[in-house]
Chain A
Amino acid sequence: MNFASNGFLFLFLPATIALVWLLASRLNREFLCLLVFGISSAFYLFHSVNFYFLLLISIQFNYGLGILVCQRKKALVIAIAFNLAILFTFKYFDFFIAQAGYDTLNIALPLAISFYTFQQISFQVDRFAGRIQSYPTLITYAAYVTFFPQLVAGPIVRFGQVSRRLQSARPFKASLGRLRLGGAWLVIGLFKKVVLADSLGAVADSAYTNVAQLTFLDAWIGTLAFGLQIYFDFSAYTDIAIGCGLILGLRLPENFDRPYRATNISEFWRRWHMTLSRFLRDYLYIPLGGNRHGPWRRVLNLFIVMLLGGLWHGANWTFVLWGGLHGIFLAFLSLWKKFGVTLPPLAGWFVTFLFVTLAWVAFRANNIGDTAHIWLMMAGTEGVVLPPSLSGLARFLGVETEIRPLAAFNLLNLTLVFAAMTAVLLAPTTRQFALWRRRPFAQAFILGVLFAVAVILMQDGSGRFIYFVF
């Protein structure tokens, strides 16, 4: 069930809130967790019936292994191997055998597998490291893994971040105050998804669906639109997840902190998909040696981490390329810092934004060939074609160039991308707006308008979240 759908907003969520509201004070912790596990299972089953049992097996197996993992390295290795084996089988097996030249088995990708696998790996490692003192019951653990707001596309929640609440007497509860605060997160997320991300997605799609016909302006506007779309889309999902979590009494970690304001790539990764960045840092980069073995080893570690981070997004060379590019840029920044050279903030922001935007081409394009072609178009190797609306500009400048309607570049799309960019850089964050207490009734009024606009423009089935497929 898509968050941005009538079924979720007007049936599933109100029913869930009503159930939790009514039963929170009547049920003990175990039954409340069972209730939320049941609701989350229903949410997953709406999406995917076939792989629900894989999810259950994964939970059961991890829970059992988790008991053994405490201080036992062999058990930890088995637990991690089990999780990675599931991920490899369902997500990467076809990809690798195709590379080896064999026929693929057409294995379908189970919904949310990347997220719940990483979440459970983090549980096992934390358990081994002694960071989980009180081992949860199976039902509490199942409620933690499957908690529906974060199940499909994160944020990746560590057990330690929610353990106190989950192991309290009333892990889930609803109230008017929570409804108000969580509702604010939810409405902002919904608006970002329906109004901004989906509109920008249409611009990006118009450029990327016909790569062979792209022009210089199409390639730039399409790529900028995609960079903004993926930010609004993914941060919207996280906002809605956090909002639902708050309404039900569970606070989930934030995933974004205005990443496009970063003035270097390292800062970008501290602001973008923060729960994944922290996961990669704590469970991969530091175990690999982090920055403890000299600058060259650090560079290598950064590169490996980003390469694998790229591959985590999907079994395609484009994701490997995207991760590899970020790895190279992070490594470059690490060496650059060593020489003590710093760029002025504005120049740093521009270089970072430009690099991130160029790297999105690899993320969005269907294959490496398309990626290279779009980069060449963006470099202006085929000249610049102007749309009829800019023919006056060409005459004014005395430039002779081809003039014809373009696939993605027009005044409306340009306005949209400009407005979205302005919002990304200048608008308050979701947290700031949700916690805006100085004028509560102005906040309620604005949120009401945003909600109405989002509901009007929302179309069932049309706006799936990008990260649903990872």
Chain B
Amino acid sequence: MNVHIKWLSLFVGSTFGTLVIFVGAVVGLVDSTAMMTYKRSMVAFKLARLEQAQRQPHVIFVSGSNALYSIDSMSIQQRIGRPVTNAAVHWGLALYMVEEVVKRARSGDIIILPMEYSLYTGPTPSETEACYQIAQARTRLKRLDDWILAIRTCPQRWLGYAIILKIQQATIGGGVFSAVAELNPSGDILINTPSKATPRNYAASPTEPPESATGTGFARLERAIRIGKRKGVRFAVTFPVMPMPSKNARLQIERWEKIIRRWAKKNRIDVLSSSDKHYFPSHCFFDTIYHLHRGCSPQNSEIYASAIMRAIRSGRYP
């Protein structure tokens, strides 16, 4: 009996000891991992552009990597005659970015949200966001559940990769720690040159869209929009780029578009363009079905620019 109790006590003790060490390591180390530094530099660079003291009203795109890769802000800027900021970041931080952009937005700004599949429909904060926030702004994780999510997710997502990157850096070199060198002044990514594209025979795969635009993600988005509107910011939604869909996928995408249009109407938000305007052939994609290369991103940008121009001409935007 005594031996069993000792054994179980040691088991429980080592379990708790490991938990304490693990939590400490995550909270203390995740901030300095390569991936975290990369993401933070990208977010900081984009938000800094909106924090400039004297600036004109901007057109600001916020979304996931779809917009990060597939928008040529410079060409939109030239076409509409207003500064454009591409504040899109990789998936998982889009909602966080909407809130941060709204904080820095000013009257006259137009925030455009290309509504990627599932960007706002999953649980919030997403694993990526929880992990990011634990390093970046610990105070923003208000619920114990969010902390647990972050503690569990960070090591899986980033610590493992950080170790591999460190080994890779020490042996064969490489490893990106700052995103700034990969961005142009407007925030578009620069690495997606056509010469580095990996052409494949892409087709949009049908993804089951949600039944309605509800859930904590949409609730957060609506809250951010309300705050923005009070500051005199205008909002518009549009759709992300995707490969030519099959008949089945097209039905799914059309269903998603209907849901978004209904949601936009309810929240009095403009819909700038329809989803079918953003279908592209396989050779336009850079590495995945979400990212255009720079040979095709101007075409996509032209669609956005024309839609914005139409809205300005019709007097919907100041």
A: residues with CB less than 8 A from B are 176-177, 179-180, 183, 212-213, 388-389, 392, 404-405, 411-412, 415, 440-441, 443-449, 451-453, 455-459
Contact = CB atoms under 8 A, between A and B. Distances in A.
A458 B10 CA distance: 22
Contacts of A404: 198, 287
Interface of B: 1, 3-8, 10-19, 22, 151-152, 155-156, 160-161, 164, 167-168, 172, 174, 198, 200-201, 287
Contacts of B200: 212-213
Nearest to A453: B18
Given A183-B8, A452-B15, A459-B152, 16 more contacts: A176-B1, A177-B4, A389-B172, A392-B172, A405-B287, A411-B168, A412-B160, A440-B3, A440-B7, A441-B10, A444-B11, A447-B11, A448-B11, A448-B12, A448-B17, A452-B17
Contacts of B168: 389, 411
Contact of A445 (B1, B14, B19): B14
Given A212-B201, A213-B200, A459-B152, A452 B160 contact: no
Contacts of A389: 168, 172, 174
8 contacts: A176-B5, A444-B8, A452-B18, A455-B15, A456-B19, A456-B22, A456-B152, A457-B156
A457 B152 contact: yes
Nearest to B12: A448
Nearest to A411: B164
B13 to A, nearest CB: 7
A288 B200 CA distance: 51
Contact of A452 (B19, B161, B287): B19
B171 to A, nearest CB: 10
B10 A452 contact: no
A405 B288 CA distance: 10
By DSSP majority rule, is chain B's interface helix, strand, loop, or mixed?
Answer: helix
Given A451-B11, A457-B156, A415 B287 contact: no
B8 A449 contact: no
Nearest to B18: A452
Contact of A183 (B10, B11, B174): B11
Contacts of A448: 10-15, 17-18
B7 A441 contact: yes
Sorted nearest first, the 9 A-B pairs with minimum C-beta distance are: A448-B14, A452-B18, A176-B4, A444-B10, A404-B198, A448-B15, A444-B11, A448-B11, A452-B15
B3 A444 contact: no
Nearest to B163: A412
A389 B160 CA distance: 17
A412 B156 contact: no
A180 B4 CA distance: 7
Contacts of B3: 440
Contacts of B12: 448
A441 B287 CA distance: 51
A126 B12 CA distance: 43
A180 B8 contact: yes
Contacts of A455: 15, 19
Contacts of A179: 4, 8
Nearest to B167: A411
A388 B7 CA distance: 49
Contacts of B11: 183, 444-445, 447-448, 451
A366 B198 CA distance: 25
Nearest to A446: B14
Given A448-B15, A448-B17, A456-B19, A176 B164 contact: no
Contact of A412 (B10, B18, B164): B164
Most chain B CB inside 10 Å of its own CB: which residue of A405, A448, A452, A459: A448
Contact of A444 (B1, B7, B16, B172): B7
A181 to B, nearest CB: 10
Nearest to A441: B10
B4 A444 contact: no
A404 B285 CA distance: 14
A30 B16 CA distance: 39
A189 to B, nearest CB: 15
**Best-surrounded residue of B7, B167, B287 (most CB of chain A within 10 A):** B7
Nearest to A443: B7
Interface-centre pick from B5, B11, B167 (highest chain A CB count, 10 A) = B11
B208 to A, nearest CB: 15
Contact of B22 (A446, A447, A452): A452
